Amino acid sequence: MVFRSHMDQALAEARAAGARGEVPVGAVIVAPDGRVVAAAGNRTRETCDPTAHAEIVALRAACAAAGSERLVGHDLYVTLEPCAMCAAALAAARIRRVYYGAADPKSGGVAHGARVFSHPQAHHAPEVYDGIGGEAAAELLRGFFAERRDTGNRNGGES
Amino acid sequence: MVFRSHMDQALAEARAAGARGEVPVGAVIVAPDGRVVAAAGNRTRETCDPTAHAEIVALRAACAAAGSERLVGHDLYVTLEPCAMCAAALAAARIRRVYYGAADPKSGGVAHGARVFSHPQAHHAPEVYDGIGGEAAAELLRGFFAERRDTGNRNGGES
């Protein structure tokens, strides 16, 4: 199924992020015609930018390519539940559907905590589909943090 | 008082943003030693970037200058209550204090809606001081939207 291959691409971005020493999260944005218009992994450490979560990096690239701050009809696939920052950015961009993998009780802002889409201040609430490829995404994160704990080098989550 | 002059600088950034056709919101980031390390206005339209709110533009610039994704001990002055996206970004960057001007019941995410700092998923909650220069900030926004309504060119809020 198409959505599975998009999530596979997001997982590949997550793995590549982990290999760069970033928290392994990846995202893909798909245009209404099915084209992948952006794919990115987390780059907060590399760029010293706390906003460079996978979703934001992909969103900025897709908006730049489209020449628009809104991506009406576009869908986003991300390996981990978006945090409040990313959820609000996706709402601002009018993303149509958000497919995410693993739940994130610690830092999530869609099904946890701020639940950004559930307030009228979001102006737009994407349709949300969770749990797609969630086990693979969660396993990537577990492996990443277990390795960092083993080397005494843990530095918190993606937060 | 010092904080008043910082908010005056944020208001000047807001006015400059309005003159560029952007929703007039401005922000300033101040280092622990009192230096202004970033000042920015909203640039979402110019850059086709829905994440380019004044707070995010300033945050990215200050982090790049500091070579760090965290700005411990830094304070942010912004003319309008931050939205959920900006609030979560400020928490992620460990901003110490947030001083804001006008309340934003329509799109705010600090005292309204998602109330991002009130959930443990934010990991860090800046001290918040509201209403500083709020009337001037609100007047700027009212003037901007009134003019756009008059010209039949309104395009929503900063959201």
pLDDT digits (tens, 9 = 90+) for A6-35: 999 999 999 999 999 999 999 999 999 999
Strand residues in chain A grouped as ranges (E): 26-30, 36-41, 75-80, 97-102, 127-129
Burial of B28 (0-12, 13-18, 19+ CB in 10 A): buried
**What pLDDT is attached to residue A154?**
43
Q: Does the annotation count A55 as an active-site position?
A: yes
Q: State which amino acid sits at residue B8.
A: D
Q: Cα separation of B77 and B83, whole Å?
A: 14
- Please check whether residue B121 is in contact with residue A113, taking contact to mean a CB–CB distance below 8 angstroms: yes
Which residues in chain B are contacts of A62 at CB distance < 8 A? none
Binding-site entries of B:
53, 83, 86
Rounded to the nearest angstrom, the gap between the alpha carbon of residue A139 and the centroid of all alpha carbons in its chain is 16
**What pLDDT is attached to residue B103?**
97
Average pLDDT of chain A is 93
Domain-by-domain residue ranges, chain B? Answer: 4-147
What is the dihedral angle through the alpha carbons of B126, A69, A17, B84, rounded to the nearest 10 degrees?
Answer: 20
pLDDT digits (tens, 9 = 90+) for A78-126: 999 999 999 999 999 999 999 999 999 999 999 999 999 999 999 999 9
Which residues in chain B are contacts of A42 at CB distance < 8 A? none
ipTM of this predicted structure? 0.93
Query: CATH number of the domain at B4-147, out of 3.40.140.10, 1.20.58.340, 3.40.50.720, 3.30.230.10?
Result: 3.40.140.10
Question: What is the value of pTM for the model shown?
Answer: 0.93
A152 or A77, which is more confident?
Answer: A77
Quick count: other Cβ atoms within 10 Å of Cβ B153? Answer: 9
